[in-house]
Amino acid sequence: MGFHAPSKGTAKVLGFDIRHDARKVRSLVGYMPESDSFIAGMSGIRFVRYMAEISGLPPEQAMERAHEAFFYVGLGEVRYRKLGTYSLGMKQLAKLAQAIAHGPKLLIMDEPTNGLDPPARQRMIQLVREIRDAGDMRLIISSHLLRDVEETCEEVLILRNGRLAALCNLEEERRANRKFLELETMGANGAFSSALQQLGCECAVFSNGRMKVVMPDKIEIREVYRIAEQQGIQIRKMNHRRDSLEDIFLNAMEQTGAAHGGL
């Protein structure tokens, strides 16, 4: 957005250089800030119209688009009320309306569901999905709420200390992500994991007897119990799991943390 001057390197947004074509970039981008940003003393519709005019729309078109945007986000009935009287959820939706009123090609949403109650959150998620599926604009969502990200995004980019920690396509990740067993054992040692590997399983051993076992389809769980019994190992907990975005996130954090000498 040009809020911070770049120190070095180059970057392009929608084909435009962020240094030399910053104005062009900003005209193609819609931004929904995280903080409670609005203009004091204005009605909702006037606020969105004002923002659209600053983006370059003539007054008549800005007014029309402001009405459209307000109805689109579901605030049509309250568009003439002062912004100061809006609830938190309504303010979030008004911020979304101002971000899309000028018809951007790229929409950047900073924590769009932050502080929303469950129905308002659902409404916001639904809107984001609709905008995504319409295909008129691309979306970038910055959020710590990984569940929301999983529900709305196709690709996830995890940053740590301003550096890229992981980049994954969620759909591919879901497809590639095999089911695994999470075990909590008592007395498990290298022999146990070796025996499982001989069966064709992939094993990862963690501290305190915890293990992750990826099993081929042909192997049944009773085989794991049989080996445990043979070796006198107690299996205290067994869970079937898939890697969630949270696991991917934590993994990325651990890996980059280790690369940088720990957390």
Partner 1 sequence: MAVYKRAYRSYTGPITAERWRFLVLTRYSLSQLFSSRAFSWFMMVTLLPVILSAAYVYVTNSVTAQLVLRMGNQSLLSVDGTFFSKILIAQAWMALFLTCWAGPLLVASDLSNSALPLYLSRPLNRAEYVTGKAAVLVLILSCVTWIPVLLIFALQSSLAGGSWAWQHLSFVAAILAGSFVWIAVLTLMSLATSAWVKWRIVATAVTFGLFVLPPGFGEAINGVMRTSWGRVLNLPYLLEMILTHMLGAPMQSHGPFSDQPLPQFAAWVVLVGVCFASLALLNKRLRACEVVRG
> Closer CB to partner 1, residue 89 or residue 104?
104
Q: Could you tell me where the DSSP H helices lie in the chain?
A: 22-28, 44-54, 59-72, 88-100, 118-134, 146-152, 170-176, 190-198, 221-231, 245-259
Applying CB under 8 A, does 247 fall inside the site for partner 1?
no
Size of the site for partner 1 (CB under 8 A): 45
Contact pick of 8, 15, 134, 175 for partner 1 (by CB under 8 A) = 134
Q: Report how far apart, in Å, the C-alpha atoms of 244 and of each of 20, 22, 171, 175, 256 are.
A: 40, 37, 12, 12, 18
> Closer CB to partner 1, residue 13 or residue 188?
13
Q: Report how far apart, in Å, the C-alpha atoms of 250 and of each of 6, 9, 47, 260 are.
A: 29, 29, 40, 15
Contact pick of 93, 100, 158, 227 for partner 1 (by CB under 8 A) = 100
Contact pick of 17, 80, 129, 130 for partner 1 (by CB under 8 A) = 130
Task: Transcribe 40-100 into DSSP letters.
Answer: TT-BHHHHHHHHHHHTT--HHHHHHHHHHHHHHTT-GGGTTSBGGG--HHHHHHHHHHHHH
Shortest spacing between CB 155 and partner 1, in angstroms: 22
Shortest spacing between CB 180 and partner 1, in angstroms: 40
Applying CB under 8 A, does 24 fall inside the site for partner 1?
yes
6 and 18 Cβ atoms separated by less than 8 Å:
yes
The answer for residues whose C-beta is within 8 angstroms of residue 83's C-beta and 6 or more apart is 38, 39, 40, 42, 43, 44, 47, 91, 94
> Closer CB to partner 1, residue 60 or residue 217?
60
Shortest spacing between CB 195 and partner 1, in angstroms: 51
Region 27-86 residues binding partner 1, contact defined as CB under 8 A: 27, 29, 31, 33, 35-42, 50-51, 53-58, 61, 64-65, 67-68, 71-72, 76
Instruction: Name the segment binding partner 1 (CB under 8 A); options: 6-14, 133-141, 152-160, 171-179.
Output: 133-141
Three-class DSSP category at 103: coil
Q: Under the rule (CB under 8 A), what is the footprint of partner 1?
A: 1-4, 23-24, 26-27, 29, 31, 33, 35-42, 50-51, 53-58, 61, 64-65, 67-68, 71-72, 76, 98, 100, 102-103, 105, 130-131, 134, 136-137
